[in-house]
Homo-oligomer: A and B are copies of this chain.
Amino acid sequence: MGSLDANCIASPRGFSPLDIDDFRQQAHQTIEFICEYYKGIESHPVVPRWSPAISAVSSPSPPPPSPCHHPPGMTHWTNPNFFAYFPATLSSAALCGDLLASALNPVAFNWLSSPAVTELESLTLDWLAQLIRLPKGFLFSAGGGGVLQATTSEAVLCTLVAARKMVLERAGHDGADKLVVYASDQTHSTFAKACKIADLFSLRPDSLRAAMEADAAAGLLPVYVCATVGTTSSTAVDRWPSWPRWPAASAPGCTSTRRTRAAPASAPSSATIWTGRPGRLHQHEPHKWLLTGLDCCCLWVRDRPRLTTSLSTDPEYLKNRATESGLVVDYKDWQIGTGRRFRALKLFMVMRCYGTANLQSHIRSDVRMARGFEEMVAADTRFEVVVPRRFALVCFRMRPRRAGADGEAEADAANRRLLEEVTNSGRIYATHTVIGGIYVIRFAVGTTLTEERHVKAAWELFRAKADAAWEAAR
């Protein structure tokens, strides 16, 4: 920690951190390092064997004597044997696009500060909206539009703020105490966090429609409904109620009601965001299933001004004619921050280089592999699939060996033990959740490099350790 001085280069006069020749050499070396890393990716444990007590901050280790292509303490998210959480996918096109974006390094807070950055983002979000078959109202040409943000949490927070503003404008600021938003008990935890940040009160009703009607009768003001297509825990899909007709004063920004096959096509207009991991190419986080790498999250809205008027700023030093013309998009008014990275380039390159057919085949391949895993689980009488598989996540466990609460408790312990054994082997990484009170192993298929042989080998590992886990858990 105190060794920074040792790294000073002797002559500050010669310090040129963007020297082209230096960059060329260092960047080519970095690429070779990455190629070596990927060549050996399956030969190292997916999860490190670190104890929390071993921390670089508290006990620094000596510098490595030779290059290490598997930095210690890394969980290898790109390892094809990674089946934990939801995998984050990546591609050559995205890596190159992102490198190029880093090298150009524009800070595209408004249109003028780098017009091409904004234009490319608008174009790419329109492409993706068409690919996932969003209603036309979400395209720029129809008054809607899309923006890239770092995380879904930020996107949700922005729409919450827009929805709150809209409701309070109708109800007056006295309504501030009566605002209420709705989500299910399986909604991602980040929604509750966004509500906390925006100081909104969130309900988790059993019946959305009944709750909203009762709340409206009691004088509360519904602001937002968060429906999830593909929850994090088990990829469940929220039932979307037929949308009630609200008196204008309390309508939570609802514009229309339609359905598509896989996702609600409408919602409170400022709140429409595709959360979770929806099927086919309904996808809002390209950094999960669409090969872009972190971070890249889409938000589309139907009605641009509803979002931008609640987030706009207009300091003197950013005033300019393009903004005043009203003809351009200033993305700083679509997000929490002002500055922003050129995230669109990697998404553009992924879509432009690979094309829709390959992207679809990639996602279908993951779903097919997950289906194969589900079938193998179902064929072994010791195991059961706990909730129906949707998309590419299988939630399964070893069955209880006897009925009743004691049997369930034993099964929980045995499954916990099984997951530990499997993960500690270093050969695969999977995680758990709890559904309806029972402990369940989550097996999420979908790193870029995962093939059928990895899925089969993972299943063999679970099978092989099953009986021993029962014994050990007793």
Which A residues are within 8 Å of any B CB, using their own CB?
A: 1-2, 4-9, 12-13, 15, 17-20, 22-24, 26-35, 37-39, 48, 50, 52-53, 55-58, 60, 71-78, 84-85, 88, 90-96, 98-100, 102-107, 111-117, 119-120, 122-123, 126-127, 130-131, 140-141, 150-154, 157, 161, 164, 176, 188-190, 192-194, 196-199, 232-233, 287, 291, 293-295, 310-311, 313-318, 321-322, 325, 327-328, 336-342, 351-358, 360-362, 431-434, 442, 448-449
Contact = CB atoms under 8 A, between A and B. Distances in A.
A319 to B, nearest CB: 8
Contact of A90 (B18, B233, B325): B18
A164 B302 CA distance: 33
B119 A57 contact: yes
Given A26-B96, A73-B119, A198-B199, A103 B34 contact: yes
Q: What's the dominant secondary structure at chain A's contact region?
A: helix
Contacts of A127: 1, 4
Contact of A23 (B18, B35, B433): B35
A336 B92 contact: no
B95 A317 contact: no
Nearest to A74: B116
Contacts of A310: 196
Contacts of A112: 75
Given A189-B338, A294-B341, 6 more contacts: A1-B127, A4-B351, A9-B354, A52-B111, A60-B123, A197-B311
Given A78-B18, A336-B193, A120 B317 contact: no
